[in-house]
Amino acid sequence: MANEYPAVNLSRVCKNYGQALIKQRVLIDVELRINRGEFVVLFGRSGSGKSTLLNLIGAMDRPTSGLIEIDGIQISNLKERARTEFRRASLGFIFQAYNLIPTLTAFENVKLPLTLNGIFDETPALKILNDLGLENKAGSSVEDLSGGEQQRVAIGRALVHSPSLILADEPTGNLDIETGHEIIRLIDGLVRRNGQTLIMATHSQEVIGYADRVLTIRDRKVVEL
Amino acid sequence: MSSLIYTAFSRHLIKHPWQLGLALLGIAVGVAVIVSIRLTQHSAFEAFDIATHTTMGQASHRLVGPKGLVTNEQYQRMVLAFPALPMTPVINQRLTLPEHGRAIELLGIDPISRTKFNPGGKVDRLWFEPEKLISEPRSAIISRTTAAELGLRTGSYLTVNYGPKTARLKIIALLPPPHSPGGLVKGLIIVDIATAQEVLQLYHGISHINLLINDNYTATHLNKTISAAYGDELELLDLAAESRRIKRMTAAFYSNLNALSLMALLVGMFLIYNTETFIILQRRKILGCLRALGVSRRQVLQSILIEASCIGVIGSLGGIILGVFLADSLLGIVSTTINDLYFKTSIDRLSVASTTLFGSFSVGVASTLLAALIPALQATRIEPTLMTNRNSVQPPNIRQICIIAGIIFFLCNLLSWFTLEYSQSPNAGFVGISLVVFGFAAICPLAIIALSAGTRWLLSSQRFLPERHGLRTVSTAVNRTGPASAALMIATAASIGIGIMIMSFRVSVSDWLDTALRADLYVSGEHFDNQSRGVKLSPAFVEKIERLDEVTSTSTVLRQQIKTPSGNVQLSAYKLNAAARQGFQFKVGDSEAIWVQWEDSDVVIITEPYAHHNLLDIGDDLQIKTNTGERRFQIVGIYADYASERGNISMSRNTYDRHWERDDYDGIGIYVAPNVSIADAASSVTAVINANSTIVVNSAAELKQTSLEVFDRTFLITELLRAIAVIVSVIGILGALLAQQLERTREYGVLRAIGFTIPEMGRTILTQTFLLGATAAMIAIPVGILIGVILIEVVNPRSFGWTMIMQIPTALMVKSFAIAVLAALGAGLYPSYRAARIEVTDAMRYE
């Protein structure tokens, strides 16, 4: 039954910031459908609304109006607690600034989503560290890792609990070109192998080559590029 | 909740030991002050209980005579009348030790009859073999501690003086024996009753009889029988009730100290709030990340509060250890005050009560949780969108701060007004003070913003760029600098308020002494405590004094405990000359009308505390038990008197003589002839006294000086606690600035990179700290005055009944302002030093 639903479905989604006189309209009547297993790039300049859209799809923010469905679950009407539980179980996040917990080791960071979901088997965490080539860095403090290594730990953390949807916000923004490519290849390989859906916000042209579809935000609406 | 989150949080704290240290210090100091005050109180009471037990054994009641003497004949009649009633004679008197220049308390007991007071083999605290005292003449037992102080051991001899009488006593035992669970009986020498009579040459009587009321006699039955047999010659006192009464007297003294200790805790709570706020600010990214990963708001709140309770537990444990040491140091000061004002006790060692420790521990943990609650709730509002938000530090919402501060200020002051207006309890005064302080603390952030803007406007020249930058920074970080400034404000305001109260009290006492001490010299029997056990002055002695050429006139006083329906009270019967009458400051009543009725009518005047405690006013009648039966005396005046918290009643000696039959006196006020020096007059008076006993002569100046010394000793502990509170708040400011500096490391790096010199960096930071100190001081002055007003107009009249002349000393205001500003500037030195040493490249990379 679940396969009948698209991975992401947005209908007439609007997002405003501020109130009354100083209202800022960031997204207007966004329509978007992303299928399962798709790798979609959200391309555009800074301030175009990419992160806002990612926040809405990632259940981190609420739309001003419209409907958002992820795997057939309407998240725009979910209460705070339910949205939190939804994020915990169904989503994986990769951020530009890695946002690892600095006081945990690489292994502990990767293991965190498992423990939050009540899974105490450490095998998936060890396996993904191996897949990411970080088996020798498992016990290291993340602060001692290079930028590329830290982003690989972040990828591991996003994928370890096998979420159906991965959201990546400028994952190569803090990395050099070569490391950036390596990271994109890693993410692409892993999500395709697991059949997961990936939405990546970026302004990097190089990433476009990996995507199934490229979208952009023009006049506050999502359009195909 | 995932243990990984706790691991992450605890490692964060360990990586930031300064913050952890500040939070722990905040709670530890607050708890330490509470523990120290409670332990000193407990130790004082325990020492009092032990001393009481030593002198009374298991006695439940005491039979006393009106002049502090029970005759041998009265004692024998009692023994015959109540054969089944355990009773034992006691003599106690203070002696001097000429070889050591100090005094010691003599306790004469009957070891045999005393054994009846330990039924069922209960251990006697005295812990010795009684027959030794009887069999060996002039033998004595002394407390082990005192023996060590005097360099005595078993077999040594000790010379004691009682007035002109001298005796040598042989020490036959020390108590308690080593390793015994016996109590502490410091400053005590125990002898057989016969030896005591010999030393004091008091062959016809004893001080009192201790009784143990048992199943054979009830107190009511005994009272009736004694009253029928002896009339007013003997009075039965309930010792448990007396003990409770004496302890109750210290309640007001301790309530002041407890209020101060709670203030120290309040300052500590601000420190914790400050540290927690900063910790959460540092963890915003982590918390945002956790929220994005699916950690709920409740889990965030739970984890922060668990962390805070761990800090509370460790801080409170540290506070308990610190408090025990502090209590040990304060013991001497508290002991002196209790001895000066309330009852005689030798607090030999600190008594650590587990209930006190547990109570203080609970208060510490609860305060930490309370202080951490607001930052924890703020943490729950951190949104996961923070992860995609490029601006990591959001400026405080000034409008929100204004609204919240305004509401808190208004509500606290309204509640304070209600509390002070509608509750008559002295504690309501402290609640009112806390609310006022809290209300004004809430507007500290607003004051910082306003003062910062005003100063920036004044320093508009480009020459003041570092200062302007510092002012702007302190204003934008007001959510962290505000609490630190509030903590300093609270400590400074409390310091000013208490200072105003002490100063007003001192000036009032000094004025009262100047007015009351009209005579040039005062002669009195030596009073050791407020039980009137001093030597009485005979009419012949007074006559001798009056006949001296150096003396123009005298006034006299006789003091006696009397019975009124509201309990026992001290009555002073005065024979006053015209000058002495001017020594009474009437708060209520017309002095001219009072003196017209004074000698010939059955009228009394009462002190302010007595009027307050018994809800009396002029025109009311007092029913007093006299030798001629119950009589009513009309109250015609209420006068100022700071000598007794309980208060007393005064009447003319003529009135007294109409209802009682006494011919002796307790004191004489001597008015010296105009051409004679006071020193010469004192010599002549002393020459008369030498032939008598332990009578002392003091000049008015000496009495005033001694009284003010007692006053200053009483408030010494208050001064110490004030200092502790200020130190804690300075640490708070230091912590806030360090935190702010850490937060702005990258910004400082940028400033250095664009050309800010090291002195300019210093100017920036010191401007910030100056602003914080100045804001705290400016608010603290009106708040301090308000505290002073509440203490003088509400707390003191309700606790003691005393009114005072309000003093607002300019010097205190200037000093407090300077201390607050200097403290803040001092706290800015280290952050300035650190900021100056910032490596630009490192700072630019700082996240």
Q: B259-296, pLDDT tens digit by residue? A: 677 777 777 777 778 778 778 877 888 888 888 888 98
Closest B-chain CA to A107: B4
Please indicate whether, in this complex, the C-beta atoms of A116 and B12 are within 8 angstroms of each other: no
Q: Within this chain, do residues B83 and B34 fall inside the same structural domain, yes or no?
A: no
Residues B551 and B627 in one domain: yes
Most confident of B83-97, B711-725, B747-761: B83-97
Residue-wise pLDDT for B554-611, tens only, equals 999 998 878 777 777 889 999 998 888 888 989 999 988 999 999 889 999 999 989 9
ipTM, 2 dp: 0.85
Do B751 and B645 lie in a common domain? Answer: no
Q: Do A101 and B289 touch (CB under 8 A)?
A: yes
Asked if A80 and B288 come within 8 Å (Cβ–Cβ), the reply is no
The reply to whether residue A157 touches residue B293, judged by beta carbons under 8 angstroms, is yes
Whether B788 and B749 share a structural domain = yes
- Identify the pLDDT of residue B693: 57
Residues of A in CB contact (< 8 Å) with B are 51, 54-55, 58, 60-61, 80-81, 84-89, 93, 95, 97, 99-104, 108, 111-113, 115-117, 157, 169
Alpha carbon dihedral B216, B220, B222, B225, in 10-degree steps, equals -130
More confident residue, B715 or A106: A106
Measured between CB atoms, which of A55, A58, A81 is closest to B296? A81
Among the partner residues A85, A101, A103, nearest to B294 by beta-carbon distance: A85
Q: Is B384 close to A104, i.e. CB distance below 8 A?
A: no
Average pLDDT over residues B301-324: 91
B26 and B175 share one domain:
no
Of B663, B692, B721, the residue that ends a domain is B692
Q: Has residue A199 got a pLDDT over 90?
A: yes
Weakest mean pLDDT among A152-161, B146-155, B395-404, B418-427: B395-404
What span, in angstroms and rounded, lies between the C-alpha atoms of B846 and B843?
Answer: 5
Q: What is the mean pLDDT of chain B?
A: 80
Q: Residues of B619-638 as b/e, b for ≥16 C-beta within 10 angstroms?
A: eeebebebeeeebebebbbb
Is residue B232 within 8 Å of B624, Cβ to Cβ? no
Q: What is the pLDDT of residues B212-233, one digit of tens each?
A: 877 667 777 777 777 777 766 7
- Closest C-alpha to B392, from A202, A96, A134: A96
Q: What is the interface size between A and B, counted as CB pairs within 8 Å?
A: 89
**Other C-beta atoms lying within 10 Å of the C-beta of residue B594:** 18
What does each C-alpha distance from B727 to B30, B268, B831 come to in angstroms? 12, 11, 18
* A218 located within any domain: yes
pTM above 0.90, yes or no: no
Q: For residue A211, give its domain range.
A: 36-62+79-224
In this predicted model, what pLDDT tens digit does every residue of B788-823 receive, in sequence order?
899 888 887 877 778 888 888 888 899 889 988 888
Overall number of domains in chain B: 4
Per the model's pLDDT, the better-predicted residue between B576 and B646 turns out to be B576
Looking at residue B129, what is its pLDDT?
62
- Cβ(B16)–Cβ(B281) under 8 Å? no
* Residue B391 reports pLDDT greater than 60: no
Distance from CA of A10 to the nearest CA of B (A): 19
**Mean pLDDT score, A6-32:** 86
Tokens (6 digits) for B780: 């603290």
Task: For B383, name the nearest residue in chain A, comparing CA atoms only.
Answer: A60
Supply the pLDDT for residue A14.
93
Last residue of a domain, one of B646, B663, B692: B692
In a domain, A104, yes or no: yes
Contacts of B385 in chain A (CB under 8 A): 55, 60-61
The pLDDT-based confidence of B32 (bands split at 50, 70, 90) is confident
Domain count, chain A: 1
Residues B143, B6: Cα–Cα separation, whole Å: 56
Q: How far apart are CA B512 and CA B774, in angstroms?
A: 38
In a domain, A28, yes or no: no
Q: Residue B401 domain-assigned?
A: no
Chosen domain end from B394, B422, B442 = B394
Pairing outcome for strands A65-70 and B188-192: unpaired
User: Out of A54, A85, A116, whose CB is closest to B388?
Assistant: A54
How far is residue B601 CA from its own chain's centroid?
41
Average pLDDT for residues B113-136, to the nearest whole number? Answer: 61
pLDDT tier at B182, thresholds 50, 70, 90 = very low
B794 part of a folded domain? yes
**Residue B843: band (very low, low, confident or very high) from pLDDT cuts 50, 70, 90:** low
Per-residue pLDDT of B445-461, as tens digits, reads: 899 999 999 999 898 88
Q: Are residues B49 and B107 in the same domain?
A: no
Query: Does residue A16 sit within a domain?
Result: no
Task: Tell me the nearest-neighbour CA distance from B293 into chain A, angstroms.
Answer: 5
State whether A84 and B291 contact (CB < 8 Å): yes
Judged by average pLDDT, the poorest of B57-71, B355-369, B637-651 is B57-71
pLDDT at position B179: 47
Q: Is residue B242 part of a domain?
A: no
Inter-chain CB proximity B296 and A84 less than 8 Å: yes
Range B156-177 average pLDDT: 83
Interface mutation vs chain B, best among A112, A114, A155, most B CBs within 10 Å? A112
Q: Are residues B839 and B728 in the same domain?
A: yes
Highest mean pLDDT among A122-131, B196-205, B244-253: A122-131
pLDDT tens-digit series, residues B510-533: 888 888 888 899 888 754 333 334
Do the Cβ atoms of A187 and A168 come closer than 8 Å?
yes
In a domain, A15, yes or no: no
Same domain, B377 and B472: no
CATH number for the domain harbouring residue A120: 3.40.50.300
Of A80, A99, A104, the CB nearest to B4: A104
Do B462 and B431 lie in one domain? The reply is: yes
Residues B224, B281, single domain; the answer is: no
Q: Does pLDDT of B403 surpass 60?
A: yes
Q: How confident is the model at residue B505 (pLDDT cuts 50, 70, 90)?
A: confident
Query: What is the token pair recorded at A53?
Result: 């859209």
Tell me the mean pLDDT in the region B616-645.
88
Question: Distance from A48 to chain B by nearest Cα, in Å?
Answer: 13
Three-state SS for B93?
A: strand
Question: How does pLDDT run across A106-160, given as a tens digit for each residue?
Answer: 999 999 999 889 888 999 999 999 989 899 999 998 889 998 899 999 999 999 9
Kindly report the number of other CB atoms within 10 A of residue B675's CB atom: 7
- List the single residue in B8, B11, B289 with the smallest CB-CB distance to A99: B289
Tell me the per-residue pLDDT of B89-109, one tens digit each, with 9 for 90 and over.
888 887 888 888 777 888 888
Specify whether the CB–CB gap between B267 and B487 falls below 8 A.
yes
**Does the pLDDT of residue B846 top 60, yes or no?**
no
Which chain B residues have a beta carbon less than 8 Å from that of A54?
Answer: 388
The answer to whether residue B403 sits within a structural domain is no
The answer to whether position B699 is within a domain reads no
Give which of B16, B303, B387, B847 to mutate to test A binding, by max A Cβ within 10 Å: B387
Domain membership of residue B635 (yes or no) is yes
A144 in a structural domain: yes
| Per-residue pLDDT tens over the stretch B739-758 | 666 666 777 777 777 778 88
> In Å, what is the CA distance from B746 to each residue of B241, B287, B685, B751, B753?
69, 21, 81, 9, 10
> Are B417 and B449 in the same domain?
yes
Best B289, B295, B298 residue to mutate vs chain A (most A CBs within 10 Å): B289
Burial class (CB in 10 A: 0-12, 13-18, 19+), B215: exposed
Residue A1: what pLDDT? Answer: 43
Same domain (yes/no): B294, B382: yes
Tell me which residues of chain B have a C-beta less than 8 Å from any C-beta of chain A.
2-4, 7-9, 11-12, 15, 285-286, 288-298, 383-385, 387-389
- Note whether residue A3 is domain-resident: no
Specify the DSSP element, H or E, that contains A223: strand A221-224
Subunit contact B286:A101, Cβ cutoff 8 A: yes
The answer on pLDDT for B635 being more than 90 is yes
Domain span at residue B366 reads 1-57+252-394
From B246's Cα to the closest Cα of chain A, the distance in A is 58
Confirm whether A142 is domain-assigned.
Answer: yes
Judge: B297–A84 Cβ closer than 8 Å, yes or no.
yes
**Res. B60: pLDDT tops 80:** no
Contact B481, B770 (CB under 8 A): no
